[in-house]
Amino acid sequence: MIAVLASTPVESVLRWANVDGPAEIALLVFGVVAQMLFFARWLVQWVATERRGVSHVPEQFWWLSLAGATLLLVYFTLRGELVGMLGQSVGWFVYARNLMLIRGAARPPTPDPPA
């Protein structure tokens, strides 16, 4: 108990996060950055909605979702966390599909060939 009280706040957080050594600290930082990127998508969506005055999901939301999910999938895979891996991999397909739909809607329609 005395050893716990004598540790610094940083040491306490690292112990709580089950992080031991420089490689795991780097992985933890990677995971936090990935989560911040994933969270940024909600800020983008909120700002876009406020500017329009109606609910709106801009294309950037889907790109941030895809990038954040990819980084989080890497993080969860390196940590061996199956629940996180499954959650991010399922979402990844949804984000990619939305981007495909946006790209398809942006293309001009092709004219029908003459009969």
**pLDDT tens readout for residues 31-71:** 999 999 999 999 999 999 999 999 999 999 999 999 999 99
Q: Which of 25, 24, 19, 35 is nearest to 88 (CA)?
A: 35
Asked whether residue 4 carries a pLDDT value surpassing 70, the answer given is no
Q: Is the pTM here over 0.85, yes or no?
A: no
30: nearest Cα among 75, 80, 77, 64: 75
Rounded Cα gap, residues 28 and 10, in angstroms:
13
DSSP designation for 110: P
pLDDT interval class at 1 (50, 70, 90): very low
In the prediction, which pLDDT does 10 show? 85
Residue 62's CB: how many other CB atoms inside 10 A?
A: 22
